[in-house]
Copies of this chain bind each other. A is one copy, B any other.
Amino acid sequence: MQLVNGTQLVAVVIAGGSGTRFWPLSTADRPKQFLALFGQRTLLQATVDRLQGLVPPERTLIVTAARFAGTVRAQLPHIPLGNIIAEPQARDTAAAIALAGLVCRRRFGNPVMAVLPADHVIEPAAAFHRALRSAAAAARGTGRLYTFGIRPTYPATGYGYLQAGEPAAPPAGEDDGELPHFRVQQFREKPTRDVAEEYVRAGNYYWNSGMFVWSTDTLLAAVERYLPEHARRLFPLEAYIDTPQWEEQLAAAFGRVPKISVDYGIMEKAAEVYMIAAPFRWSDVGGWAALADFLDQDAAGNAVRGVVHGLDARGNVVFCEDASEVVALVGVEDLIVVRAGNRTLVARKDRVEDVKRLVEAMGQPGSG
């Protein structure tokens, strides 16, 4: 049995997202991955911290928007500067990941890549390492495209689903044999409520976590096959990696790459897609309401960060960027109250989806 050693992996952290769901804490200049929503570390820092013991900083790449490169550097001072890949424009995840694949091949040969969004919460790290090792071992030299499926805890309509097909034993001797692998029968887009309920009842549907594990050659072959325009525009850049012409060449080519996600562009089309049912707890912390699970709870079921005094106040989520702020609640239920700088949000919990609409109407750019 050959367990994969961490140094054989390259982590590709996707940190380019912009977003307004966490307004007023997040702004156009400071999207979710750069926020410390709980504890002292930002989601990006926690994502890299979580790799400790499995992937060293030298083999950790961060793909981000050029305008966020300074923020990434400041938040991750131990990551080599050359490992921060700055996209001159936002061209969605397929382009970002293909670019990272080229850097992997140029610098490391044909490593297994672990593609990880920068803004998820995953616990505990040991279970996450185990899943990454298992996927990496199964992906090496087999042409498999791996993803992690999250067993749904409710009929979510905000996630895509993976329909698990037959169990797929990892190649003999290549795994610790304990985690269930499946062939993915189909990728399903975000369902309606009714369909989501069917999925949960059926039992073989999993949330698409947006994490991927594959060997570099497998990824780049898939790009060539399913996204030929990406290949035509991006593959010639490989020769310029770590040369003085890199930025100029990247700027000339990148803006012409079609905007498409890796899910739509590759995963939905490819045959050799596999999943591991994740042995870890996962959240994409999609908005203020989702954050409640990660905050302290008071006796009345309010999830709080900050000094919160309540009188007949139940089920509220209160978040203060400056944890020494004082918030008093009287007679209110199921509200989201957020304080950040000179900005305050008060929203009904079941209307947080609309924060995005309001912020856009207020003239705050961003789309997440």
A residues with a Cβ closer than 8 A to B are 23-24, 309-312, 322, 324-332, 335, 337, 339, 342-348, 350-352, 354-355, 357-359, 361-362
Contacts and interface: CB of A to CB of B under 8 A. Distances in A.
Given A311-B361, A322-B342, A362-B309, A355 B332 contact: no
B325 A347 contact: no
B347 A332 contact: yes
Contact of A332 (B328, B343, B346, B357): B346
B326 A347 contact: no
A325 B312 contact: no
B23 A351 contact: no
A347 B333 CA distance: 10
Contacts of A328: 23-24, 343-347, 355, 358-359, 362
A89 to B, nearest CB: 29
Copies of chain A in the complex? 2
A24 B326 contact: yes
B348 A332 contact: yes
Contacts of A325: 342-344
A335 B332 contact: yes
Given A327-B344, A335-B346, 6 more contacts: A24-B326, A311-B361, A322-B342, A328-B344, A329-B346, A346-B346
A4 B276 CA distance: 93
A326 B346 CA distance: 11
List 3 tightest A-B contacts by C-beta distance, closest first.
A331-B351, A330-B347, A331-B348
Contacts of A345: 327-328, 330
A343 B326 contact: yes
Given A311-B358, A351-B312, A342 B324 contact: yes
A345 B332 CA distance: 11
Contacts of A358: 309-311, 328, 330
Nearest to A322: B342
Contact of A309 (B327, B337, B361): B361
Contacts of A24: 326, 328
Contacts of A355: 328, 330
